[in-house]
Amino acid sequence: MLKGTIELLGDKSISHRAIMFSSISKGYNRISNFLMGEDCLSTISCFKKLGVGIEIKKNDVFIRGNGLYGLKKPSDILDVGNSGTTIRLMMGILAGNNLEATLVGDSSISKRPMDRVINPLREMGCDIIGDNFTPITIKGGNLNPIHYKMPISSAQVKSSLILASLYANGESTIIEKSKSRNHTEIMLKSFGANINVDSLKIKVNPVDELFSQDIYVPGDISSASFIIVATLITKNSEVIIKNVGLNETRTGIIDVIKKMGGNIEIINNKTICGELVGDLLVKYTKNLNGIVIEKDLIPRLIDEIPIIAVLATQADGKTIIKDASELKVKESNRIKSVVDNLKLLKADIKETDDGMIINGKSKLKGNKIKTYNDHRVAMSFFVAGLISEGEVLIDNKDCVDISFPGYFDTIKKLIK
């Protein structure tokens, strides 16, 4: 069983944004409870190459911002590693700066589509060499405003366009397909950006400068979700996770767990730096039921679908996940990687065009699974291993460092 009280490192999405917005602000910034995962360290390394002064002290980061137009031409290519957020958001910032930079990443990044950002940035007048995939060279400066109705729901695309719009010579409008995480809008406003949000419509007007901030990064709900599910499905468990980010664009997993009959409660909450933060009390739940997960709920739990699939194998009846074809272009094709691996553990699961159907409840059996170097696949199947008969062997455990350094020890410390 799992027992105890823990606090997690900072949210990945918010940590990335804190580095980026601080780097283009004027003045000194302090970021506390920053996530020292590989993805966020890639963002730091890119902005250092763009001439920004960044210092790390324990879990805090100190940044002397270069101002909105102050990034320097990098002498080297910018390597984003495994991080989609780094490359797509940076493209928006680079589009507005009068310099040339080339972006590359690892083998997973080189297969992920970038035309979703390249096309609208070109529409704004940005000069980009490259098609859909890395390497991509951006020659920034002189952007026109954009009026863009997004064809997909993506916080990375939305954020990239909001950032480019800071540099445009007029008002831009971005219309979302459905509400995705809104950390960019919240944080940029605190830096002094001129952003107005009216449900799915976001209006951005240029400003001369952004002004430095002290930012506290709440615990990552996506990382918490592995511990939450481990607690729900392991007999007699009870865990408190403190200071988790509970922004409602991210709490789809809590809604899903409640609908499945899972025992989860928010026992405290407050707003810090515009973000809702609270403590979660989670208890083992014997009887869970299958549900349908679809439509506007999908962007609110997109990164949690692998672990939700593991949870669904322990719920009675059918869980249907649909409208989730974006999963195919994550760090791995997460429809395939989740379905194929759960089949190896003898779950009753079927791949569909835009998701999966899981029939529970199954007794999972140990086997060797393939992570495809996807951190969330590795972490999900470690949780499956906690309740399987026989061991679940994970081919690459190190990839968890992308978003959750210390993951295995954190869970092992909770096991009593």
- Where in the sequence numbering do the catalytic residues fall? 303
Mark 222-261 with x for binding to ligand S3P (rule: CB under 6 A) and - for no binding: ----------------------------------------
Q: Which stretch binds ligand S3P (CB under 6 A): 103-111, 155-163, 233-241, 250-258?
A: 155-163
Q: How many CA atoms lie within 13 A of 81 on its CB side?
A: 20
Which of 348, 347, 273, 358 is CA-nearest to residue 324? 358
| Binding status of residue 39 toward ligand S3P by CB under 6 A | no
* Binding test (CB under 6 A) with ligand S3P, winner from 46, 63, 80, 155: 155
DSSP letter string over 98-155? SSEEEEE--TTGGGS--HHHHHHHHHTT-EEE-SSSS-EEEE---BPP-EEE-SS--H
**13 vs 373, beta carbon nearer ligand S3P:** 13
How far apart CA 67 and CA 50 sit, in angstroms, is: 12
Q: Which stretch binds ligand S3P (CB under 6 A): 27-35, 50-58, 149-157, 392-400?
A: 149-157
**316 vs 323, beta carbon nearer ligand S3P:** 323
- Whether the CB-CB separation of 24 and 209 falls below 8 Å is answered with no
| Binding status of residue 13 toward ligand S3P by CB under 6 A | yes
Long-range Cβ pairs for the range 393-397 (8 Å, 24+): 393/366, 393/367, 393/368, 393/369, 394/369, 395/368, 395/369, 395/370, 395/371, 396/371
How far apart CA 87 and CA 266 sit, in angstroms, is: 34
* Binding test (CB under 6 A) with ligand S3P, winner from 26, 49, 181, 250: 181
- Whether the CB-CB separation of 332 and 377 falls below 8 Å is answered with yes
**185 vs 279, beta carbon nearer ligand S3P:** 185
**41 vs 345, beta carbon nearer ligand S3P:** 41
Distances (CA, A) of 31 to 43, 111, 189, 382, 387: 14, 32, 16, 31, 38
Q: Which stretch binds ligand S3P (CB under 6 A): 65-73, 148-156, 304-312, 364-372?
A: 148-156
Cβ 73 to ligand S3P, closest distance in Å? 26
Sheet holding 238-245, edge to edge: 3-7, 238-245, 275-283, 263-272
Peptide bond into 361 cis (omega under 30): yes
| Binding status of residue 156 toward ligand S3P by CB under 6 A | yes
**279 vs 374, beta carbon nearer ligand S3P:** 374
Judged by DSSP in three states, 386 sits in helix
Which of 8, 30, 3, 1 is CA-nearest to residue 246? 8
**47 vs 284, beta carbon nearer ligand S3P:** 47
* Binding test (CB under 6 A) with ligand S3P, winner from 174, 232, 302, 386: 302
Cβ 60 to ligand S3P, closest distance in Å? 21
Cβ 326 to ligand S3P, closest distance in Å? 6
The interface with ligand S3P within residues 70-109 (CB under 6 A) comprises: 85
Cβ 223 to ligand S3P, closest distance in Å? 11
Q: How many CA atoms lie within 13 A of 415 on its CB side?
A: 12
The interface with ligand S3P within residues 327-386 (CB under 6 A) comprises: none
Cβ 163 to ligand S3P, closest distance in Å? 12
- Whether the CB-CB separation of 277 and 218 falls below 8 Å is answered with yes
* Binding test (CB under 6 A) with ligand S3P, winner from 43, 108, 159, 337: 159
Cβ 348 to ligand S3P, closest distance in Å? 27
Judged by DSSP in three states, 194 sits in strand
**35 vs 315, beta carbon nearer ligand S3P:** 35
**Beta strands at 292-293 and 317-321: parallel, antiparallel or unpaired:** parallel
Binding site for ligand S3P (CB under 6 A): 13, 85, 154-156, 159, 181, 302-303, 326
